[in-house]
């Protein structure tokens, strides 16, 4: 492969017409490096798989080439809300795009069919099951189908976290459309999923493109859970008037936490699969329309949420695996502006998940499912990875990337965007000694007790159980009495997370030492323990996105009041047009306006994210708002 020319390059470049389309239609002056490669592959009619994190700019990779090549590009997408969003956005940019879904009236569908017959569309969004309906592909070919793009392609793989049986049918595509280029897109990066996608779709010598998985604009923090409502309130205090999602494990947790937060004056709504569909729809709509900023939810609130200015994602308990964590936190900061992800966890989460996983494996086995044993091992392994991530003290960006098989280049002073590198987690000065005390206490009590009792022994508690067991006579009794129960408990969890202590399978979460734990206890292996400290939240008057964008593009700092005024205008326009506000302009574009304060249509057109159609449609209103603001 020859290296592509620099973005934005040179005369005679085959990409030149493409860059022109990108500039005029979407208002971007240059392509990101993998976009360049993906679009080349699309234009050359090659199969491809592009793996890029959320917010990386995958959609442009099939949208822009679709405008340039003759005929129709079909985009397969798993959710109607995702299709609706993209179609709305494309139409705002003046692109002839449509979708065919079961949610449409038959008259609407007929209209789309007519457009197809006339060859009036460049992009058509459909669900996998519709695409594979008998005869449909053949008709599309009759309408000049020139390529198929498959979004959220990991849905085809059992190994992914979001397998959808309808996606499996896409395996037939290659046979039914032997000559058609197929391009697949996903944000899920494990090697196994990647290979599975290519195999399931029978991609032919696909151009494999894997972007970096790091999301440098996200700041990760992981803290032991104490008083969750207060802890979440602490996060919210850093994000006044900003959008965010708080994930809880169970519906009852959602109800409880959202009630508690409301009692504390937080405007938020609960969301989980047990609520009335009408209420769920209302909440989702209000969130998309920027009428509501905080949603407390189970993971049922997720895939259809495309709001790009989500500034924080909180997890109230441990997610099921690193893939899930990465997917769920990935909903923050899709616009590339800074966002924060905070995970609160406790040892109970680990056991809760394990019980659940084992329970469903037993059910699967009883139901005669093959591979139930392997699936169980797999699920337990994932769980232990995410537990290690939470309790470990490796740079979070690094740990996440390593999980997906990517090594981040080391940076002096760390990543600057996680609790570990920001020095919010303090190393316990005599961590080795503390670890030895904990481990020998586990041994002295016969490796027959759970974390609660071991903590009590170490702290010298006078409990009924202590009298019964006689553990108050042990040499390890009261060895850590000067430390709080939470602290001791956190150290036990860290030792579990680092693999030095193990938790027995079975009814009781009994602690016992691993081989490495024995070595640590004997002083033959080094170990570090950490005392988490709470991040500072005071003194952040300016909102994070506004602050960051000032430094980012070498622009003067955006005027916060003007930015707020432009957001308001955007909301009014969005309401009139019946689309979500970010479809009108995203925050980045508004921030750029608030910093550059364009005065003429030409200056306005030069704003990143403003294409020809939007400049004509929206320029006058926004220019007027900027002018008025200047006079106020």
31 binds, among ligand ADP, Zn ion, none (CB under 5 to 8 A by kind): ligand ADP
Q: Which does 418 bind (CB under 5 to 8 A by kind): ligand ADP, Zn ion, none?
A: Zn ion
Considering beta carbons, is residue 85 or 340 the nearer one to Zn ion? Answer: 340
Residue nearest to ligand ADP (CB): 57
Q: Which residue from 421, 458, 513, 618 is in contact with Zn ion, where contact means CB under 5 A?
A: 421
Q: Whole-number minimum distance, CB 582 to ligand ADP, in Å?
A: 8
333 binds, among ligand ADP, Zn ion, none (CB under 5 to 8 A by kind): none
Nearer to Zn ion by Cβ, of 397 and 483: the residue is 397
32 binds, among ligand ADP, Zn ion, none (CB under 5 to 8 A by kind): ligand ADP
From 60, 395, 435, 583, residue interacting with Zn ion (rule: CB under 5 A): 395
Interacting stretch for Zn ion, rule CB under 5 A, among 75-83, 226-234, 289-297, 395-403?
Answer: 395-403
Q: How does 370-395 read in b/e, with b if 16+ C-beta sit within 10 Å? A: eebeebbeebbebbbbbbbbbbbbeb
- C-beta of 16 vs 120, nearer to ligand ADP: 16
Where along the sequence are the contacts to ligand ADP (CB under 6 A)?
28, 31-32, 35, 52, 54-60, 308, 334-335, 586
Tell me 487's DSSP state.
H
Q: Of the candidates 207, 197, 214, which has an alpha carbon nearest to the alpha carbon of residue 52?
A: 214
DSSP letter, residue 26 = I
Count of residues near Zn ion by CB under 5 A: 6
For residue 621, which of 574, 556, 560, 561 has the smallest C-alpha distance? 574
DSSP 8-state secondary structure symbol assigned to residue 258: H
Residue 31 or 140: which CB sits closer to ligand ADP? 31
Full DSSP string of 362-413: HHHHHTT-TTHHHHHHHHHHHHHHHHHHHH--S-HHHHHHHHTT--PPP-TT
Angle, vertex CA 305, rays to CA 330 and CA 261, nearest 5? 85
Q: Quick check: 137 binds Zn ion (CB under 5 A)? A: no
| Cα gap 608→616, rounded to integer Å | 15
For residue 57, the partner it binds in Zn ion, ligand ADP, none, with Cβ less than 5 to 8 A by kind, is: ligand ADP
Residue 435 binds: one of ligand ADP, Zn ion, none (C-beta under 5 to 8 A by kind)? none
Nearest residue (CB) to ligand ADP, 32 versus 577: 32
Q: 118-152 burial string, b = 16+ CB within 10 Å, else e?
A: eeebbbbbbbbbebbeeeebeebbebebbbbbbbb
C-beta of 308 vs 598, nearer to ligand ADP: 308
Query: Nearest distance from residue 89's CB to ligand ADP, in Å?
Result: 8
If binding is defined by CB under 5 A, does position 235 make contact with Zn ion? no
> Which of 95, 232, 295, 415 contacts Zn ion by CB under 5 A?
415
- Residue 83 tokens, joined: 């299709």
Q: What is the phi-psi region of residue 144: left when phi exceeds 0, alpha when psi lies from -120 to 50, beta otherwise? A: left
Does 18 bind Zn ion (CB under 5 A)? Our answer is: no
Rounded CA-CA distance 126/25 in Å is 23
Q: Judged by CB under 5 A, does residue 209 bind Zn ion?
A: no
The region of 207-215, 248-256, 278-286, 416-424 touching Zn ion under the rule CB under 5 A is: 416-424
Residue 586 interaction partner, one of ligand ADP, Zn ion, none, beta carbon < 5-8 Å per kind: ligand ADP
Burial class (CB in 10 A: 0-12, 13-18, 19+), 429: exposed
Residue 59 contact partner, candidates Zn ion, ligand ADP, none, CB within 5 to 8 A by sort of partner: ligand ADP
Mind spelling out the 3-state secondary structure of 399-421? HHHHHCCCCCCCCCCCCCCECCC
Handedness of CA 20, 24, 25, 31 (dihedral sign): positive
Which is nearer to ligand ADP, 609 or 619 (by Cβ)?
609
Q: Which helix (H) or strand (E) holds 69?
A: none
Contact 166, 130 (CB under 8 A): no
The Cα 503–Cα 482 span in angstroms is 26
73 binds, among ligand ADP, Zn ion, none (CB under 5 to 8 A by kind): none
Nearest distance in Å: CB 585, ligand ADP: 10
Stretch that binds Zn ion, among 337-345, 384-392, 421-429, 579-587 (CB under 5 A): 421-429
Nearer to ligand ADP among residue 57 and residue 304 (C-beta): 57
The nearer residue to Zn ion, 145 or 339, going by C-beta atoms, is 339
Residue 341 binding Zn ion, by CB under 5 A: no
Minimum distance between the CB of residue 389 and Zn ion, rounded to whole angstroms?
A: 12
Report, in Å, the least distance between residue 586 CB and ligand ADP.
Answer: 5
421 binds, among Zn ion, ligand ADP, none (CB under 5 to 8 A by kind): Zn ion
The DSSP 8-state label assigned to residue 47 in this structure reads -
| Cβ at position 594, least distance to ligand ADP in Å | 17
d(CA 414, CA 513): 32
CA separation for the pair 401, 190 (Å, rounded) = 10
Write the CA distances from 431 to 393, 452, 494, 523, integer angstroms. 13, 20, 11, 12
CA angle 104, 107, 113 (to 5 degrees): 85
Backbone angles phi, psi at 340, to 5 degrees: -120, 140
531 φ/ψ angles, rounded to the nearest 5 degrees: -110, 110
154 binding partner (options ligand ADP, Zn ion, none; Cβ < 5 to 8 Å by kind): none
- What residues line the site for Zn ion (CB under 5 A)? 395, 397, 414-415, 418, 421
């Amino acid at each position: 492969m020859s290296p592509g020319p620099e973005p934005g390059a040179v005369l005679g470049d085959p990409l030149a017409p493409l860059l022109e389309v990108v500039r005029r239609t979407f208002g971007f002056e240059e392509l990101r490096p993998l976009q360049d490669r993906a679009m080349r592959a699309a234009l050359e009619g090659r199969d491809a798989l592009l793996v890029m994190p959320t917010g990386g700019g995958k959609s442009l990779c099939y949208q822009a080439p679709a405008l340039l090549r003759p005929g129709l590009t079909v985009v397969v997408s798993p959710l109607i809300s995702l299709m609706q969003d993209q179609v709305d956005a494309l139409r705002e940019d003046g692109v002839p795009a449509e979708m065919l879904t079961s949610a449409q009236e038959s008259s609407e569908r007929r209209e789309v069919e007519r457009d197809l017959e006339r060859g009036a569309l460049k992009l058509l969004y459909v669900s996998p099951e519709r695409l594979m309906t008998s005869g449909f592909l053949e008709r599309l070919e009759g309408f000049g189908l020139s390529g198929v793009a498959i979004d959220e392609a990991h849905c085809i793989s059992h190994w992914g976290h979001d397998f959808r049986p309808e996606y499996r049918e896409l395996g037939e595509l290659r046979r039914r459309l032997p000559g058609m280029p197929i391009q697949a897109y996903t944000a899920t990066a494990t090697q196994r999923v990647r290979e599975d996608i290519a195999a399931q779709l029978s991609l032919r010598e696909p151009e494999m493109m894997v972007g970096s998985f790091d999301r440098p604009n996200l700041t990760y923090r992981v803290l032991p859970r104490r008083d969750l409502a207060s802890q979440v309130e602490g996060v919210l205090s850093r994000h006044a008037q900003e959008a965010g999602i708080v994930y809880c494990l169970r519906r009852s947790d959602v109800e409880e936490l959202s009630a508690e937060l409301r009692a504390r004056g937080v405007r938020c709504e609960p969301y989980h699969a047990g609520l009335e569909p009408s209420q769920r729809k209302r909440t989702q709509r209000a969130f998309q329309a920027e009428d509501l900023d905080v949603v407390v939810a189970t993971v049922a609130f997720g895939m259809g949420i495309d709001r790009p200015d989500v500034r924080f994602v909180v997890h109230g308990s441990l997610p099921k695996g690193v893939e899930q964590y990465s997917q769920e936190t990935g909903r923050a900061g899709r616009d590339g502006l800074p966002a924060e992800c905070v995970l609160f966890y406790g040892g109970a989460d680990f056991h809760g998940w394990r019980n659940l996983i084992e329970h469903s494996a037993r059910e699967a086995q009883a139901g005669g499912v093959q591979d139930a044993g392997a699936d169980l091992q797999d699920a337990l392994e994932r769980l232990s990875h995410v537990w290690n991530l939470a309790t470990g003290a490796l740079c979070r960006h690094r740990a996440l990337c390593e999980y997906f098989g990517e090594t981040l280049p080391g940076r002096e002073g760390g990543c600057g965007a996680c609790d570990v590198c920001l020095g919010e987690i303090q190393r316990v000065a005599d961590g080795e000694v503390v670890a030895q005390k904990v481990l020998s206490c586990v041994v002295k009590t016969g490796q027959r007790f759970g974390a609660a009792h071991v903590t009590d022994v170490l702290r010298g508690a006078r409990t009924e159980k202590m009298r019964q067991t006689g553990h108050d006579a042990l040499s390890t009794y009261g060895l850590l009495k000067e430390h709080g129960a939470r602290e001791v408990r956190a150290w036990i969890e860290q030792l579990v997370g680092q693999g030095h202590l193990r938790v027995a399978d079975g009814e009781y979460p009994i602690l016992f030492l691993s081989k490495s734990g024995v070595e640590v206890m004997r002083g033959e292996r080094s170990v570090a323990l950490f005392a988490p400290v709470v991040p500072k939240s005071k003194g952040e008057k300016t909102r994070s996105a506004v602050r960051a964008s000032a430094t980012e593009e070498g622009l003067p700092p955006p005027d916060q009041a003007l930015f707020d005024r432009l957001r308001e205008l955007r909301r009014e326009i969005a309401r009139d047009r019946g689309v979500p506000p970010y479809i009108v302009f995203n925050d980045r574009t508004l921030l750029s306006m608030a910093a550059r304060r364009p005065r003429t249509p030409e200056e306005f057109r030069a704003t990143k994210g403003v294409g020809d159609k939007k400049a004509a449609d929206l320029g006058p209103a926004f220019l007027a708002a900027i002018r008025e603001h200047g006079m106020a």
